[in-house]
Structure 1
Amino acid sequence: MSDLFITGILPKSHFRFTLIDCSDICSHLDRIHDLDFRMSNFLSKTMMGAFFLARMVKEDQRISIQWKDEFKHSVLAYSNHIGIMKGVAYPGEFAKGDIRNEFILGSGILKVIRWSPDADPYQSFTTLVEDTFETNLIKYINDSEQQLTMIYMDTQSISFGKIAAKGLFLQALPEATDADRIKIQGFADANLNREIMSNKTIEEICNELPAIFQEEVRVLDKDKPHLICDCSRMKISQVLVSLGEQEVREILTEQGKIEVECEFCKSLYNFKDEDVVKLFPKE
């Protein structure tokens, strides 16, 4: 497997599409977070969802998607327009036979934050319904964008610590007519299924789109997504400073050192007495 994304348009019907394979990224996250497949499935789909939303805008925005159900199970994923991604899941198990073991979300909240370099973060949310992640993401997009959107995702557990994660995002552009929407929806419903998503590479799927939609497909971009965590010793130091010297000193006295683990990438940052002294210099 080799991660890749492809974006393009159906120029005749005025639809845009994004294909992504982020299997390597999701496999790494599955291993470092030690997830069961249910939560690995949700994390993989949330990662793809954040990327799809980021590709919907031209400006340099970073998108985060977080959902939390009534059982406090939660996933948080970030992506920007060029596929710089990170994510974390907080797993839990349901009783045997519970429908949510079949990749159905419980009721709760799905929250999206758009982070722009020159503007305050913009936050929006929708209530979760007891259905798949794809259904809930489409519900959010329909509530906020009012444009016909179709999302097809496939995640599989290949072996221990090895996940296959692929997805296709289709959205009508403002120029699309009702006839365009009905036509593309019909072709998608008739031809796009899990078998196609699971058995073919996204390049092969892209090559089949002209036959599926019976029109020219124009590829605009092709690149590789990357798993990059933006944690740093400086950021952790700022968090410690915000706690105040007294609290930091108390932790240091109790534990002998301060060890902070990044929840996304599991990097460890250690601070000893001499490091704390530098955080709180005497005037």
Structure 2
Amino acid sequence: MSADTLKRFMLENAHVRGEWLHLNHTWQDMLTRADYPPFVRKVLGEALTAAVLLAATIKHDGALTLQIRGDGPIHLLVIQATAQGTVRGLAQWNRETDSTALPDLFGEANMAITLESRHSNERYQSLIPLEGESLSQALESYFARSEQLPTRLWLMSDDAIAAGILLQRLPQEQASDEDWGRVSMLLDTLTSAELTHLAAEDVLFRLFHEENVRLFDGKEIRFHCGCNRDKVESMIRSLGQAEAENVLEEQGKIEIICEFCNASYTLDAVDIGQLFKPSMPGSDTLH
């Protein structure tokens, strides 16, 4: 079984589509970026799984971002999944909790799902209150309310693996409520051990062997952060020369640390001087 794979499948008898996801190295890469306590790791892994599964259901060429902001112990969680199979994410917290219930983790919170195009400035965002005892319930409620598309999610994560399955009733199909209810009940019999240790073929056969399952080729998922020095320099230019020089005077340098991947970018007085150096008349060089 490939360690970091997304696989699409169809339950043709029930007119239901699905996605199966298993992440190992990608999840481990994300965990090395920050020292997350156990209660943060669990929901961060579930959110990572959910974002990849959701992105796979939408035809787009850019990125899907899942973001939760609240006033609980975890006050920010962000996961970004791209159409190219890359992911990155982070969580911020300010106090500990022993609970794993969503209201106890995030308090009063909102969840935003944002779609951004890769080649244009087009952006679509849906913002709803965070409701339910689990992230699966919150996202299922989102699809029922915002998309009117029956959807089921089974998410899990531990220190080694993040994994999940998504089921979605096909729109404009003659699927019956009985079919949807049956496959939903079958999904509820899945265990964390099966999802962790079995290949997609084995999981789907165990759950849906009477539903005429069609499994498609897998897609590799990997951790990747798009930060780079050019983007950092562009951000500093947007602050303006006066602000940049104030920071230099106070700290002797400007240091930017990417919260997604922990990469550090340092600029000294010479670098800042070059950033704001006026272009010479007749010069074709951009600074």
Instruction: Please say if residues 41 and 103 of structure 1, whose CA atoms lie closer than 8 Å, have aligned partners that are also in contact.
Output: no
Report the Cα offset of residue 129 of structure 1: 2.2
TM-score, normalising length: structure 2: 0.88
- 2:192 matched residue in structure 1: 194
Distance 1:209 1:109 in 2: 33
Spell out the pairing of 1:251-262 with structure 2 (5 A cutoff). Answer: 251-262=247-258
- Give the 3 Å change call, closer, same or farther, for CA 179–209 of structure 1 in structure 2: same
What is the identity, as a one-letter code, of the residue corresponding to 1:169?
L
How much is the aligned-residue C-alpha RMSD, in angstroms? 2.2
Spell out the pairing of 1:151-166 with structure 2 (5 A cutoff). Answer: 151-157=153-159, 163-166=160-163
Match of 1:234 among 230, 235, 238: 230
Distance 1:56 1:95 in 2: 33
Instruction: Please say if residues 69 and 110 of structure 2, whose CA atoms lie closer than 8 Å, have aligned partners that are also in contact.
Output: yes
| Structure 2 gap ranges (5+) | 280-287
Q: What whole-Å deviation, never above 9, does each CA across 1:130-183 have from its counterpart, x for those lacking one?
A: 5111111111121122121111112123xxxxx321101111101122232122
What is the identity, as a one-letter code, of the residue corresponding to 1:272?
D
Instruction: Please say if residues 64 and 114 of structure 1, whose CA atoms lie closer than 8 Å, have aligned partners that are also in contact.
Output: yes
Distance 2:178 2:247 in 1: 65
What is the identity, as a one-letter code, of the residue corresponding to 1:182?
G
The answer to whether 1:139 aligns with 2:141 is yes
Report the Cα offset of residue 254 of structure 1: 1.6
The answer to whether 1:218 aligns with 2:217 is no
User: Quick check: 19-28 or 107-116, which moved more?
Assistant: 19-28
Report the Cα offset of residue 103 of structure 1: 7.7
- 1:8 matched residue in structure 2: 9
Aligned residue pairs: how many?
274
Report the Cα offset of residue 81 of structure 1: 2.9
Distance 1:29 1:99 in 2: 20
Report the Cα offset of residue 107 of structure 1: 2.6
Spell out the pairing of 1:1-283 with structure 2 (5 A cutoff). Answer: 2-71=3-72, 73-95=75-97, 100=101, 105-116=106-117, 117-129=119-131, 131-157=133-159, 163-174=160-171, 175=173, 176-189=175-188, 191-211=189-209, 214-283=210-279
What is the identity, as a one-letter code, of the residue corresponding to 1:11?
E
Report the Cα offset of residue 31 of structure 1: 2.2
- Give the 3 Å change call, closer, same or farther, for CA 257–203 of structure 1 in structure 2: farther
Distance 2:43 2:104 in 1: 7
What is the identity, as a one-letter code, of the residue corresponding to 2:180?
R
What is the identity, as a one-letter code, of the residue corresponding to 1:200?
L
Q: Secondary structure, in 3 states, of the residue corresponding to 2:120?
A: coil
Q: What whole-Å deviation, never above 9, does each CA across 1:174-227 have from its counterpart, x for those lacking one?
A: 1122232122223223x223342234344532443442xx12111123021011
Instruction: Please say if residues 8 and 221 of structure 1, whose CA atoms lie closer than 8 Å, have aligned partners that are also in contact.
Output: no
User: Quick check: 108-117 or 66-75, which moved more?
Assistant: 66-75
Q: Secondary structure, in 3 states, of the residue corresponding to 2:114?
A: strand
Distance 2:245 2:255 in 1: 13
Distance 2:258 2:276 in 1: 22
Distance 1:103 1:196 in 2: 28
| Aligned-pair identity (%) | 25
Following superposition, which runs of at least 4 residues in structure 1 exceed 6 angstroms of deviation?
none
Instruction: Please say if residues 39 and 97 of structure 2, whose CA atoms lie closer than 8 Å, have aligned partners that are also in contact.
Output: no
Instruction: Please say if residues 16 and 173 of structure 1, whose CA atoms lie closer than 8 Å, have aligned partners that are also in contact.
Output: yes
Report the Cα offset of residue 104 of structure 1: 5.3
Report the Cα offset of residue 101 of structure 1: 8.9
Instruction: Please say if residues 30 and 223 of structure 2, whose CA atoms lie closer than 8 Å, have aligned partners that are also in contact.
Output: no
Distance 1:138 1:185 in 2: 12
Report the Cα offset of residue 268 of structure 1: 0.8
Distance 1:122 1:48 in 2: 21
Report the Cα offset of residue 250 of structure 1: 1.1
Instruction: Please say if residues 104 and 130 of structure 1, whose CA atoms lie closer than 8 Å, have aligned partners that are also in contact.
Output: no
